[in-house]
């Protein structure tokens, strides 16, 4: 199950799950759409720092995880096992959701490997609900589940603009550091000591830049701001996910191409170690 991964590689893995979406289905189709955009003849595989993902053997696409492979096994458990199998090789994992519920098992697998793991969470929503109508594994709950493990050093959230009273209580309870859009400045310095996992929900961006998401939240980040944040935050990036692309709402594949851009920039940073 190693997919010929070795230490120093970056593994791309699709996680086609939208079972825990509260509003619309569609993100399960996202990994394929992102790959189509990534390999489109309209662009190339070179990141802004000059790293060409297509010219290195260290960037390896390990395909989509079959989240329903084992009957009776919760897909969340299957995702954790698939992530763990890849990162135990020493490779770094870049996952394509799927809805944001997939972040819980992905981060849990990383926290088991990297002691003192920090999280940089870019999103319009804090995703700290204790539970939703669809249950405690809903896509609005992953960071409550993550923080309950007690294995996370710091959780820093950027782009938040939907914080309600319950989630504020949860943020206070878990000691979450929230940089909401009212207080966001492009020159803010974000720094971590130790390993960092990046979880990027595409609805962190203003709908003008990312219309192909299930939840449109006006007043968000620009494409340039997110790219600069990926480039500039200080810390050792060890894993990442890009989630919540909904191809059903993506005119002309605009948001899929945006996600592919983030794959290149995050992939390049993961390769740089």
Q: Hey, what CATH topology would domain 10-272 get?
A: 3.40.800
Binding-site residues: 100, 123, 125, 127, 201, 203
Binding-site residues for Mn(2+): 100, 123, 125, 127, 201, 203
> What separation in angstroms does the CA of 120 have from each of 68, 183, 201?
29, 16, 11
Average pLDDT over residues 191-220: 97
pLDDT reading at 136 higher than 90: no
Between 231 and 134, the more confident residue is: 231
- Long-range (24+ apart) CB contacts under 8 A made by 52-59 are 53/263, 53/264, 53/267, 53/268, 53/271, 56/271, 58/8, 58/9, 58/10, 58/271, 59/9, 59/10, 59/12, 59/267, 59/271
Between 63 and 24, the more confident residue is: 63
pLDDT reading at 69 higher than 70: no
Position 2 scores a pLDDT of 56
Position 74 scores a pLDDT of 75
Average pLDDT over residues 131-154: 91
pLDDT reading at 183 higher than 60: yes
As a whole number of Å, the end-to-end CA separation of the chain is 24
Average pLDDT over residues 158-184: 97
Between 39 and 18, the more confident residue is: 39
Average pLDDT over residues 86-97: 97
Share of the chain above pLDDT 70, in %: 97
Position 73 scores a pLDDT of 58
Tell me what the pLDDT averaged over the chain comes to.
94
- E strand segments, the chain: 10-15, 59-64, 92-97, 117-122, 152-160, 177-180, 191-201, 234-243
Task: Give the lowest-confidence range in 72-76, 175-179, 236-240.
Answer: 72-76
pLDDT reading at 19 higher than 80: no
Three-state SS at 152? strand
């Amino acid at each position: 199950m190693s997919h010929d991964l070795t230490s120093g590689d970056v593994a791309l893995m699709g996680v086609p799950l939208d079972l825990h979406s509260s509003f619309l289905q569609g993100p399960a189709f996202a990994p394929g759409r992102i790959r189509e955009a990534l390999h489109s003849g309209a662009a190339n595989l070179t990141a802004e720092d000059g790293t060409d993902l297509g010219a290195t053997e260290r960037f390896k696409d390990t395909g989509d995880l079959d989240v329903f492979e084992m009957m009776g096994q919760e897909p969340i458990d299957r995702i954790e096992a698939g992530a763990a199998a890849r990162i135990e090789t020493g490779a770094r994992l870049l996952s394509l959701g799927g809805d944001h519920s997939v972040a819980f098992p992905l981060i849990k697998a990383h926290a088991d490997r990297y002691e003192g793991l920090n999280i940089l969470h870019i999103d319009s929503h804090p995703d700290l609900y204790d539970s939703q109508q669809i249950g405690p594994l809903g896509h609005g709950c992953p960071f409550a589940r993550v923080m309950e493990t007690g294995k996370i050093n710091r959780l820093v959230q950027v782009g938040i603009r939907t914080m309600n009273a319950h989630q504020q209580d949860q943020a206070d309870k878990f000691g979450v550091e929230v940089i909401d859009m009212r207080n966001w400045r492009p020159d803010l310095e974000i720094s971590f000591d130790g390993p960092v996992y990046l979880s990027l929900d595409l609805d962190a961006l203003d709908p003008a830049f990312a219309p192909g998401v299930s939840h449109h939240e006006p007043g968000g980040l620009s494409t340039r701001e997110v790219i600069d944040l990926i480039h500039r935050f200080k810390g050792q990036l060890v894993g990442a996910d890009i989630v919540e692309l909904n191809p059903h709402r993506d005119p002309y594949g605009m948001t899929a191409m945006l996600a592919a851009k983030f794959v290149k920039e995050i992939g390049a940073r993961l390769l740089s170690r």
